[in-house]
Structure 1
């Protein structure tokens, strides 16, 4: 077995300083324009690399946990076949009553303390985590590396590029791909509170999109609402199915049929 020999303190200090320079790290500058170490663009959290240059991302089949930015088309016959297989495995049931539904049953909005989901307990709320993950040219409030005040976003639902500023926050909203009310009617009413908090804050189930598109969707399933951007409809169906599969959540027969139709090719 090799014997570990520690570096002298002077050598360690030099190496540490050099590492900080190479990584672009340095002390946070008071009053820096973006309030962030090392530039104006955050990219995805936790070292997952920068977003795609156009923000559109790849197929959800190559992003099964939702931690990569963007939502790109499902474009090949092989991927469409894989998408249909995923959707076909979903169980179905009728949509139950909305009786007793309350947003607070899924925890307070954008909590950072949901267990068992990516990006939780990192000191930044879920909404800002999503803006950082999917946005480009992200800028932060001075003195913060969490609170996003402006960014560029490609909205997969409409196919539009949005130059967003916090002063008009409602122009970008975070969509629950599987709406919380929908999940409640499909069985989440009987879940533990912990599992409901996971669903509400899981990046797999969350996308920042144009506010008007999100408002139009409300708590609809795929049979009642699909993204206006037709190129992304199979991807949307896949993401809906990925969430339903992860949380063992059934979908309605009509929703399943519509999801399969979107991925027919």
Structure 2
């Protein structure tokens, strides 16, 4: 029987490798273990499942200034957050002389919301073509827990690069303060990354989601199982929970 095994082994492997196998030229089919289907640590679906689900609180008392001065230099690199994000998200940037590369004059944005390439030129009537979006809108954050945060934490939320993206201006205006239940990027291929970033921001700042928002995010994530959330260490200049 042992003498027959070497000759029978190729046929036994073929019978057991109807799927999940690869063939190396001149050798027997090689069986691979089944794909590991457990969600990785930090998977967006897992983090979403852990977020509190509550109703939207009243907008009473909301003011943009409650999140600190716009574009505060929370990462303390000497540049305001708007210019930091423009420089991070665009290519081919040029800078205003004498500003230590802190003021972006021109650049090209591959817009994550529409897929368009946008030529940016700083100036009146042109700067608006590229805007900085709060992925979790500040008004939305206010109604889902941010009003309970202290002022320094709200300032971080309003200026954290984790929550900021350079995007097409008109598209950003159309989003307004909508959450995932009312607005998603027109470019469908960017929706998984978009909602994963929202989940990451809401986890980091202890915000909640409404049931409709939860269901909308879950629906998007069902199309990208295993989608991870971005973490501070992957975001240049991100505000860490214990400070910058």
RMSD: 1.6
- 3-state SS of paired residue (1:139): strand
Aligned to 1:133: 88
- 3-state SS of paired residue (1:142): coil
- 3-state SS of paired residue (1:101): coil
Query: Does structure 1 residue 160 correspond to structure 2 residue 121?
Result: no
Aligned residue pairs, count: 183
For residues 213 and 79 of structure 1, the distance between their equivalents in structure 2, rounded to whole angstroms, comes to 32
C-alpha contact 1:110 1:127 (8 A) present in aligned 2 = yes
For residues 96 and 150 of structure 1, the distance between their equivalents in structure 2, rounded to whole angstroms, comes to 40
Counterpart among 156, 161, 170 of residue 128 in structure 2: 170
For residues 223 and 209 of structure 1, the distance between their equivalents in structure 2, rounded to whole angstroms, comes to 20
Q: TM-score if structure 2 supplies the norm length?
A: 0.72
User: Which structure has the bigger radius of gyration?
Assistant: 2
Aligned to 1:68: none
Q: TM-score if structure 1 supplies the norm length?
A: 0.66
Query: Does structure 1 residue 121 correspond to structure 2 residue 69?
Result: no
1:203-253 deviation digits (Å, cap 9, x = unpaired): 000000001111011111100000000111111110000000111110111
Matches within 5 A, 1:129-208: 129-144=84-99, 145-167=101-123, 168-208=126-166
Give the 4+ runs in structure 1 shifted more than 6 A: 77-81
State the Cα distance separating 1:78 from its structure 2 match.
7.5
Aligned to 2:8: none
State the Cα distance separating 1:79 from its structure 2 match.
7.4
Query: Which runs of 5 or more structure 1 residues have no equivalent in the other structure?
Result: 1-76, 115-119
For residues 128 and 234 of structure 1, the distance between their equivalents in structure 2, rounded to whole angstroms, comes to 26
For residues 103 and 39 of structure 2, the distance between their equivalents in structure 1, rounded to whole angstroms, comes to 37
1:12-43 deviation digits (Å, cap 9, x = unpaired): xxxxxxxxxxxxxxxxxxxxxxxxxxxxxxxx
For residues 142 and 86 of structure 1, the distance between their equivalents in structure 2, rounded to whole angstroms, comes to 44
For residues 87 and 188 of structure 1, the distance between their equivalents in structure 2, rounded to whole angstroms, comes to 18
For residues 86 and 105 of structure 1, the distance between their equivalents in structure 2, rounded to whole angstroms, comes to 27
Query: Does structure 1 residue 241 correspond to structure 2 residue 199?
Result: yes
Counterpart among 98, 103, 108 of residue 64 in structure 2: 103
Counterpart among 218, 228, 233 of residue 260 in structure 1: 218
C-alpha contact 1:86 1:238 (8 A) present in aligned 2 = no
Counterpart among 173, 188, 195 of residue 215 in structure 1: 173
1:70-106 deviation digits (Å, cap 9, x = unpaired): xxxxxxx887993322222211111111111110111
- 3-state SS of paired residue (1:163): strand
State the Cα distance separating 1:188 from its structure 2 match.
1.0
For residues 106 and 171 of structure 2, the distance between their equivalents in structure 1, rounded to whole angstroms, comes to 20
